[in-house]
Amino acid sequence: MVAQGFNLRDVYASRQFMGMTSRFMIAFAAALAVGGPACAELIQKPNMSVSAKDGRFAGYSAALPLDLSTDTQKVALTVKSAGTIENPTYGLDLNLTQKPDDDRIGQRSLALGASWNDREAKVRSSMSKMFGFGLLPRANYVRVSMDMDASQAVAVPNKVPVTRANIRSSLTLEGRPIGSIAFGGGSRGEEGVDLSITRPFDIPAEFTVSLRGVNTDREQWRLQDARAMVKLVKANW
């Protein structure tokens, strides 16, 4: 007899999940046995959780982080899976960050990610580079970053992918953020610009102005949204 609040389908799905988890743990233990101490340092602590709603199995989330760092680069790879037994979503995240070095003033980083399921596939990337200047290049620098993402419907392979890119530049003087400007746009014509200034005239706040526009059939470009934001920041540095 099945307890109240559960049905055979939920029990079967839970058993499937437990079986998949058991196979995952067996493969994980085998990898540790084969690789020895080197493999143990490579594989970080896994993250796994199960959710329920109204006493029924609702979904799961599992992530296995790997540390692939070298002497000059910090490299982290994460393998993920989440969703339900019938419709899981798989993902990969790769993050590369340059380690601090006395010979290198500018720091660079790169992040790549992908996720896919039966309905949609997505890819994303993020790159940033720091350029120091003046007598104290570690305290005075300009950071330039670029973010890009794209998605494609699996059911409609001939459909044009939805893409978007954003470029941001920020200025820091004497270790204090001064301001930033960002431009963005995508395949759907959603262009935008963000301008922010931090602590002008020693006011402990960050002021940001955002503008968003779209392309229409009647007009080449039209302002769709404009907003101003104020965020308090720490007064003592």
Dump pLDDT digits (tens) for 212-221. Answer: 776 655 556 6
pLDDT average, residue stretch 77-99: 89
Domain ranges of the chain: 1-99, 130-237
Please report the DSSP string for the chain in residue order: -PPTT--HHHHHHHHHHHHHHHHHHHHHHHHHHHHTHHHHHHB---EEEEEEETTEEEEEEEEEEEE---SSEEEEEEEEEEE-SSSEEEEEEEEEEEPP-SS--S-EEEEEEEEE-SSEEEEEEEEEEEEE-SS-TTTSEEEEEEEEEEEEESS-TTSPPEEEEEEEEEEEETTEEEEEEEEEEETT--EEEEEEEESGGG-SEEEEEEEEEE--SS-S-EEEEEEEEEEE--S--
- The model's pLDDT over 35-86, given as tens digits with 9 standing for 90+, comes to 555 555 677 788 888 888 787 888 889 898 988 888 888 899 999 998 888 8
User: Would you state the pLDDT for residue 208?
Assistant: 84
User: Would you state the pLDDT for residue 78?
Assistant: 92
Q: How many residues does the chain have?
A: 237
Res. 18 pLDDT band, cuts 50 70 90: very low
**Phi/psi class of residue 16: alpha, beta or left (left: φ > 0; alpha: ψ in -120 to 50)?**
alpha
Mean pLDDT is highest, among 98-107, 198-207, 213-222, 227-236, for: 198-207
Residue 24 has pLDDT above 60, yes or no: no
* Greater model confidence, 9 or 171: 171
User: Would you state the pLDDT for residue 37?
Assistant: 55
Res. 103 pLDDT band, cuts 50 70 90: low
Q: 195, 178 in Cβ contact below 8 A?
A: no
